[in-house]
Amino acid sequence: MNKQPATDLDNAASEATRTVSVAVIGAGTAGQNAFRQASKTHDDIVIINDGFWTTTCVQVGCMPSKLLIAAADRAHEANHSADFGIYATAQIDGKKVMQRVHDERSRFASYIKEQVNGWPEGKKIDGRAHINEKGLIEVNDELIKADKIIVATGSSTFIPDGWADKLGNTLKTSDTIFELTDLPNSMAVVGAGAIGLELAQAFTRLGVEVTLFNRVKRVAGLKDDAINNKAIDCLTQELTMHLGSQINDLGILEGTDSTAFIDYELDSGQSDQWQGDCVLVATGRRNSIQQLGVENFGVELDEKNRPTDLNKKTGQIGDSNVYIVGDANAHIPLLHVASDEGYSAGNMIGDNKENAYIRPPAIPFSIVFCSPQIMNVGRSLPEIQQDPDLEYVIGSVSFDNQGRSRVMGVNCGLLHIYGCKKTDKILGASMVGPDAEYIGHILATAITNDLDIKSMLDTPFYHPTILEGLRTALRDVQHKMEISYQCQDTQEDNC
């Protein structure tokens, strides 16, 4: 952090309307955790927030999306049970579907609001913060000088330039889609990341005519080509997807005030037009700390607005008194990571370094809650392949004929486990298939606790479960390692 001359600091202090030991900017998951921990050691602390005082997860993310998916899964099971000799047709009440999403979301949010309401009013500031050139925090009519600052301003949806003006009220994002009071008849989803896939499939299962567009022929950011291709095969059984498509124009159809259109071109060169009720733009989320003025705290940002010199365990910027945590630092924009970073930063602020490091550094771990689920944990295949010092094998299992998966009628999937020859340990894994969320957690535990393949296989796997597929993949890793060792010992060319 750039040091200001003493005279500048004195001038800034004299202009301040309030001086505090700690200021937390942003009251999402990371900010709330940071505030709670820092409040244990600092009484003169404020938390500044612009917008809702809950969290992205509860308000516009994890929870409302899973509520929608839960309804969609019920409808899908009712409509697709003929193979089991069960014949039914789901009667979908769109208004009731969305009402439950709203009601349960409010229920989850109420728990957080209750906690926030218990904080002293004098420590909460409702307003948009900006850091001025003197390093003072401008908010409402106050100028606040803080000795230590935690930035936890989260992220917001990214909308390509001009799209908002062209699409008008037909434009939806993950921040607005859950405000619907009824289901639309038709929808385009732009983006095949986690948000796009989950919502495209959920609305499809709820009877909405959905078309998904993506610029590249990849889904969920998958980097293992075999897993990506399998995911596409599984998902296209019920989703209409135009992967590798180019959007040339979009807007509201002339002569209408509520019909959206998208002019697109497929990778084959064929051009076409989609028309429908709304366009869900799911092109990712971006942090917005550049607008906050963090450079006036001496924070440098790279070309993607990510803070440089970031301690990924605590969010501290270099040796400064500034911490940037959660989605704001764009390190790993996931709730459990934001929670840990906020907790650590709040403890670091109070010099409670022992508690600041009670959690191990987060390993990459992501789950997409489409069906079949998609999971990535640890190092990706390209990362492993680019490391010249790593020798690896890929253990594989298909879920197409895996016992319990076939019994349940969810038998479409593939798991790859990347094993290190030198250590017999797991480097990472990628999967599309049933129960991927649970298999991912088991593998994350194994990687975090440095378990080797033998230790994993010494664990009981109950029969019949989908998790037996994990054992099959681990055995494949072990088998390929044994063959590799035999080749090294005998130097046979055909190994």
The model's pLDDT over 340-351, given as tens digits with 9 standing for 90+, comes to 999 999 999 888
pLDDT digits (tens, 9 = 90+) for 226-280: 999 999 999 999 999 999 999 999 999 999 989 999 999 999 999 999 999 999 9
pLDDT at 460 over 90: yes
pLDDT at 446 over 80: yes
What is the band of 483 on the pLDDT scale with cuts at 50, 70, 90?
confident
pLDDT, residue 493, reads 46
pLDDT, residue 356, reads 72
Torsion region of 35: left, alpha or beta (phi above 0 gives left; psi -120 to 50 gives alpha): alpha
Mean pLDDT confidence for 383-408: 96
pTM of the entire structure? Answer: 0.92
Contact criterion met (CB below 8 Å) for 305 and 289: yes
CA dihedral 88, 92, 96, 97 (to 10 degrees): 90
Under CATH, domain 365-488 is a member of which superfamily?
Answer: FAD/NAD-linked reductase, C-terminal dimerisation domain (3.30.390.30)
Residue whose structure tokens are 């609001």: 113
Q: For 6-51+127-157+286-356, CATH number? A: 3.50.50.60
Residue whose structure tokens are 């202090």: 13
Question: Cis before residue 120, ω within 30 degrees of 0?
Answer: no
Contact criterion met (CB below 8 Å) for 209 and 185: yes
Mean pLDDT confidence for 148-172: 96
pLDDT, residue 362, reads 67
Handedness of CA 291, 292, 293, 297 (dihedral sign): negative
Domains 163-284 and 365-488 share a fold: no
Q: Annotate 398-428 with DSSP letters as a single string.
A: ESSS-HHHHHHT----EEEEEEETTT-BEEE
Segments making up each domain of the chain, as ranges: 6-51+127-157+286-356, 163-284, 365-488
pLDDT digits (tens, 9 = 90+) for 184-198: 999 999 999 999 999
pLDDT, residue 30, reads 94
Q: For 163-284, CATH number? A: 3.50.50.60
Share of the chain above pLDDT 90, in %: 84
CA distance 64 to 98: 10
Contact criterion met (CB below 8 Å) for 332 and 307: no
pLDDT at 358 over 90: no
pLDDT digits (tens, 9 = 90+) for 2-52: 455 444 555 666 799 999 999 999 999 999 999 999 999 999 999 999 999
pLDDT digits (tens, 9 = 90+) for 273-328: 999 999 999 999 999 888 899 999 999 999 888 999 998 878 999 999 999 999 99
pLDDT, residue 359, reads 63
What is the band of 494 on the pLDDT scale with cuts at 50, 70, 90?
very low
